[in-house]
């Protein structure tokens, strides 16, 4: 059969996490709850940071950006999944699939870069505390976030344009709950070598680069903390990194695990289930990880709630 391009208004089928009808209400309720918690939790964190002048520092500026990206990341995939469950449909248009793919790649890459920028912020704060305010000035902070956006947008644009060159024959079923790039490329019946090459290079550069920066930053941080004489000083310095380390571990270990465990596999739901961790669970847990151990954020949230209660 001749390859057919999706300019003919053809559609992909998102198979989701399970095809069993009796599990759909449970999946819908679970993911709706997680989505609402993610949006509410990250939105509260952004409001707390923006409303409290004491939190107008580089660390919390990057944290609020991370929360915004997490809201966007889950909003790229979950609403469509919930809609399909409600309407008993599995379809997504070709245009919708490419658009979803673009924004998913954009926000995953942004998560990656912002986590690296936050590691650099902690590195400067602990290794060069006397020069912190000079080195991490507002102009540099905005520039770091802006560069992260530009690189992420260019990367997702290249990957999406590369996907447009692919043609598909008869297999349009994606064993996933969203249009994941790797799954779409595997469905192509034309030569996808160039797509796989670009995808691998991108993963190595955009994934490995920020991770190397994070590891380097924490190597220097651990070395600097080790030189602190007092146990209290060591604990205080390390406590500022615990939350960020937890988020980094959750994001990278699950993300890397998904792609390593499913390398070479095609028609399986395993990567879809594993992807839930870094695309849904991690953005949901981030505001809790950062706020539970952080007295400043808890105080800002308390003031925010008291202010809103007073208004009512």
Structure confidence at residue 80 (pLDDT) = 95
Give the whole-angstrom CA distance, residue 253 versus residue 81: 24
Torsion angle, alpha carbons of 196, 278, 95, 167, to 10: 20
Q: Which CATH fold would you assign to the domain 6-311?
A: Rhopdopsin 7-helix transmembrane proteins (1.20.1070)
- One digit per residue, the tens of pLDDT, for the chain of length 312 reads 444 444 456 789 998 888 788 889 999 999 999 999 999 999 999 999 999 888 999 999 999 999 999 999 999 999 999 999 999 999 999 999 999 999 999 999 999 999 999 999 999 999 999 999 999 999 999 999 999 999 999 999 999 999 998 888 777 888 889 998 988 998 888 888 999 999 989 988 988 899 999 999 999 999 988 888 777 777 777 777 888 888 888 888 777 666 655 554 444 566 777 788 778 988 998 888 888 767 888 888 888 887 777 765
Domain ranges of the chain: 6-311
Q: How high is the pLDDT of residue 7?
A: 45
- Contact criterion met (CB below 8 Å) for 76 and 100: yes
Backbone phi, psi, residue 16, to 5°: 75, -160
What separation in angstroms does the CA of 300 have from each of 44, 45, 122, 303, 304? 10, 9, 21, 5, 6
For residue 11, the surrounding DSSP H or E stretch is strand 11-14
- What predicted TM-score, i.e. pTM, was given to this entire model? 0.91
The position carrying tokens 């289930």 is 273
Q: Are 155 and 103 in contact (CB under 8 A)?
A: no
pLDDT at 262: 54
């Amino acid at each position: 059969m001749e390859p057919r391009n999706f300019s003919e208004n053809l559609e992909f089928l998102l198979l989701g996490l399970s095809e069993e009808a009796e599990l759909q209400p449970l999946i819908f309720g679970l993911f709706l709850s997680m989505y609402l918690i993610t949006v509410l939790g990250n939105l509260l964190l952004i409001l707390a940071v923006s409303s409290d002048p004491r939190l107008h520092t580089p660390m919390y500026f990057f944290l609020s950006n991370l929360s915004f990206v997490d809201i966007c990341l889950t909003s790229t995939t979950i609403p469509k999944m919930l809609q399909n469950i409600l309407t008993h449909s599995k379809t997504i248009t070709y245009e919708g699939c490419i658009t979803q793919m673009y924004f998913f790649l954009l926000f995953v890459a942004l998560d990656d870069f912002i986590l690296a920028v936050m590691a650099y912020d902690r590195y400067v704060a602990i290794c060069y505390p006397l020069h912190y305010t000079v080195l991490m000035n507002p102009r540099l902070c905005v520039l770091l976030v802006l560069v992260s956006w530009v690189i992420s947008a260019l990367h997702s644009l290249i990957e999406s344009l590369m996907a447009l060159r692919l043609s598909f024959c008869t297999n349009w079923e994606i064993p996933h709950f969203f249009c994941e790039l790797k799954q779409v490329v595997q469905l192509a019946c034309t030569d996808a070598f160039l797509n796989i090459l670009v995808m691998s290079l991108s993963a190595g550069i955009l994934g490995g680069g920020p991770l190397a920066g994070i590891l380097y930053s924490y190597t220097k941080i651990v070395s600097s903390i080790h030189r602190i004489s007092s146990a209290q000083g060591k604990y205080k310095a390390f406590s500022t990194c615990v939350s960020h380390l937890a988020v980094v571990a959750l994001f990278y270990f699950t993300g890397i695990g998904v792609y390593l465990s499913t390398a070479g596999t095609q028609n399986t739901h395993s990567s879809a289930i594993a992807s839930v961790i870094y695309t849904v669970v991690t953005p949901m847990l981030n505001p809790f990880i950062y706020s539970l151990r952080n007295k400043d954020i808890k105080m800002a949230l308390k003031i925010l709630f008291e202010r809103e209660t007073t208004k009512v």
